Amino acid sequence: MRFNSIEDVYDAVRGAQRRRLAVVKAADKTVLETVAASRELGLADAVLIDNQAQLARAAEEAGISLEGFRIVHVPDSAEAARTGVALVKNGEADVLMKGFLETRDFMHAVVATGTGLKLENRMITSILAVELKEQKRFLFLTDIGFVPAPDLEGKRQILFNAVDVLHALGCPEPKVAVICATETVNPKMPATLDAQALQAQNEAGEITGCRVAGPISFDIATSERAARHKKYANPVGGHADILLMPNLETGNVAAKTFDLFTEHDSVSIVAGASAPIVFTSRGNSMREKLNAVAFAVQLVK
């Protein structure tokens, strides 16, 4: 089944095996509201990792009962992150979720050699899934959060992560647009050389499970009208599933543009780890966090 909307994902998760979240530093109103709603909606149960007294106070302030939740008392943020990772690695939880703690402490535990969750020979990358309601499908942008200036090998890893996610979401051969300012190769624009190389590797069978086109501009990748007008023949034109961005600045600006200036719903996904990770901002709403939980549960292998 190919998932074409956020509600499709909710429906699939509610009807599947109940999963468990390991929530690192859960003593936060929105975090607790999210895990309580996740349980109520049938998305996932949760293990709450934090100072037990602080958890009790936060739950009381939020009007949430902690009855039925497993609580692991770990006051220190860095140790809480390591505990959450360990619970996932040993099978006591299926999904790692970032609560109210610094990104540095959380990610240090995720990428730690030997004890972390990062896959060998993969980067941890961030993907934004944007629901295009009028087209009844998703558009995925990557990387938008972790890799500042990927070289060609870095872009390969970002691509592999995104393709893996789309396969898990029912898209067997996603169309990948390697985004540049132009669809013409220009030696003075290194991103176009990387894009050309990725398309060539795909055509040679070195990159499989997807269709890659590049260099390709944002408008041609996403608009059938623009692709026709510019006589762009590659079938990725106007139908891209994945937009592989040239660098973090471009990806971040594009993601925030969708968020601030359009009505599209979106979900952040972390890829490149051995288990799904819910990595949302402290400023994200409960609904945004719930969406991320639903996607992460669907991505459990």
3-class state of residue 214 by DSSP = strand
Q: What is the mean pLDDT of the chain?
A: 95
Kindly report, residue by residue over 3-30, the tens digit of the pLDDT. Answer: 999 999 999 999 888 999 999 999 999 9
The pLDDT of residue 28 is 94
The pLDDT of residue 285 is 81
The pLDDT of residue 260 is 87
The pLDDT of residue 78 is 97
Q: What is the pTM of this model?
A: 0.95
- Of 29, 275, 13, 279, give the one whose Cα is nearest residue 146: 279
Kindly report, residue by residue over 28-62, the tens digit of the pLDDT. Answer: 999 999 999 999 999 999 999 999 999 999 999 99
- Is residue 29 within 8 Å of 289, Cβ to Cβ? no
3-class state of residue 259 by DSSP = helix
The pLDDT of residue 234 is 95
Confidence of residue 1 (pLDDT cuts 50, 70, 90): confident
> What percent of the chain has pLDDT above 70?
100
The pLDDT of residue 243 is 98
- Is residue 216 within 8 Å of 180, Cβ to Cβ? yes
Mean pLDDT of 178-196: 97
Top-level CATH class of 6-118+273-298?
A: alpha beta
The pLDDT of residue 295 is 97
Domains of the chain, by residue range, sit at 6-118+273-298, 125-261
- 125-261 domain in CATH 3.40.1190.20? no
Please give the residue that has the higher pLDDT: either 280 or 27: 27
Kindly report, residue by residue over 196-242, the tens digit of the pLDDT. Answer: 999 999 999 999 999 999 999 999 999 999 999 999 999 999 999 99
Residues sharing a CB contact under 8 Å with residue 219, sequence separation 6 or more, in sequence order: 226
Say what the alpha-carbon torsion angle 167, 172, 178, 179 is, to the nearest 10 degrees. -80
Residue 89: φ, ψ to 5°? -65, -35
Confidence of residue 284 (pLDDT cuts 50, 70, 90): confident
Confidence of residue 264 (pLDDT cuts 50, 70, 90): confident
- Is residue 176 within 8 Å of 163, Cβ to Cβ? yes
The pLDDT of residue 147 is 96
> What percent of the chain has pLDDT above 90?
92
Residues sharing a CB contact under 8 Å with residue 78, sequence separation 6 or more, in sequence order: 105, 108, 109
| pLDDT at residue 100 greater than cutoff 80 | yes
Mean pLDDT of 110-118: 97
Confidence of residue 251 (pLDDT cuts 50, 70, 90): very high
Q: How far, in Å, CA of 189 to CA of 194, rounded?
A: 9
Mean pLDDT of 288-295: 94
Kindly report, residue by residue over 130-168, the tens digit of the pLDDT. Answer: 999 999 999 999 999 999 999 999 999 999 999 999 999
The pLDDT of residue 262 is 86
Q: How many whole angstroms from its chain centre is CA 141?
A: 9
